[in-house]
Amino acid sequence: MIYLDNAASTQIHEDVLESMIPYLKEQYGNPSSIHRYGRISHKAIEKARKQIASLINAEPSEIILTSGGTESNNTALRGIAMKNPSSQIITSSIEHDAILEPCKELSKNGFEVIYLPVDNLGMVDLEYLKSTISKKTSLVSIMFGNNEVGTIQPISEISKICREHQTPFHTDAVQAIGKNPVDVRELGIDMLSISSHKLYGPKGVGALYVKNGIEFSPFILGGGQEHGLRSGTENVANIVGFGRACELAKNNLQENISHIKNLQESLIQQVLDEIPKVTLNGHPKFRLPPNVHFTFLGVNGEDLIIKLDEYGIAASTGSACSVNTQKASHVLQAMGFSHEQITGSLRLTIGIFNNQKEIDRTVDILKKVISELRAVSPFKEKYSFV
Ligand SMILES: Cc1ncc(COP(=O)(O)O)c(C=O)c1O
């Protein structure tokens, strides 16, 4: 198999797995226990917290451990909203469902939610942000890089606008962390969501960075872990693995980025050169290195995924997390795509374990599969496929 669905999830790194094993076997103490088993688990969590903080240039005290990106996003939105009843939240129309769904819920409960529009490259409208942000705004939440089309938002400019209005700025950086340099201090970010399984760590663990001084109402109440901000006995082995994954991401960041960027450029160029009637979606320059997203006119994306799977390639039409709902991509809709353009879309996301040979083979298979599907396409005449 050639795995090109690294935005959905990544292969766990061998070193990450190794770091977790002791905490799944002999080191099973509850981190809240006073005895030595407990102390060993507690120490392991604090080491991981430092590793996570270091990747984004935060303080360890600013890291709240969660069950992943979804919980981090929910905690940020609901936590700030609960502290500021009847306030306004500004987000964008191309966020992941882990932002859009809690926003829907908040608007049912008396909060005003503003969705910033985007242009046809997936860039948010900053003028719209400037004209809507006000004293009423309790949080601006704009994703760092889009999970479907890979467009990277102008994070520094957004944070500057928020700072001018003394409004906290949250970013869902689940797709960006470990793939793009992210420095929360330099970028002026107040809250940021991370997910371990997108950066070669285990699933079901993540973090919310909350800048010292930002206050929010805790979302999960109970035994008071994470300084009362997120209760529940910590998932020690997963947290240890997540920490190690962050450490590896930090140590190898530039090397990984340049490896993935080379493969990304090669894949994009070869497909655009060798396959007719294809467009690259998302921003050509401000783009997450792993992301490649095309529209092949006259092709049904789901048929394409199934065919590619038969040939040993794992790909996606968009967000794996919302694929069960079978709805047309809200991201491509917001970017103004027609139904046909949305239907013919394919996302390939590259990871550190991919190589040039796999990319070349993918292009060969794509050429073959696209021409097979176009030969039986109902749009055959319309686009005069040969
Ligand atoms: C942008 C974005 N945010 C949030 C999530 C949810 O993260 P998790 O799977 O850790 O809950 C995803 C998952 O695909 C994502 O791509």
- Domains of the chain and any CATH numbers: 2-8+253-375 (3.90.1150.10), 14-251 (3.40.640.10)
- State in Å: Cα 42 to ligand 1 middle: 27
Q: What is the pLDDT of residue 326?
A: 61
Q: What is the pLDDT of residue 377?
A: 84
Confidence of residue 318 (pLDDT cuts 50, 70, 90): confident
- Looking up tokens 């061998």 gives 14
pLDDT tens-digit map of 220-254: 999 999 999 999 999 999 999 999 999 999 999 99
Residue 141 dihedral angles phi and psi, to the nearest 5°: -125, 110
- For the cut 50, the answer to whether the pLDDT of residue 90 exceeds it is yes
- State in Å: Cα 139 to ligand 1 middle: 20
d(CA 175, CA 122): 15
pTM (whole model) above 0.95: yes
Q: What is the pLDDT of residue 379?
A: 79
Q: Which two tokens stand for residue 215?
A: 């206050």
27: burial class by Cβ within 10 Å (0-12, 13-18, 19+)? middle
Q: What is the pLDDT of residue 386?
A: 53
351 vs 324: which has the higher pLDDT: 351
- For the cut 90, the answer to whether the pLDDT of residue 218 exceeds it is yes
Closest CA to 373 of 281, 302, 315: 302
Percent of the chain's residues with pLDDT above 90: 93
For atom 5 of ligand 1, the residue with the nearest CA is 69
pLDDT tens-digit map of 147-169: 999 999 999 999 999 999 999 99
pLDDT tens-digit map of 200-214: 999 999 999 999 999
Closest ligand 1 atom to residue 143 Cα is: 1
174 lines ligand 1 (CB under 6 A): yes
**Count of alpha carbons within 13 angstroms of residue 47, beta-carbon side:** 17
d(CA 279, CA 277): 7
d(CA 138, CA 203): 31
Mean pLDDT of the chain: 95
pLDDT tens-digit map of 357-379: 999 999 999 999 999 999 988 87
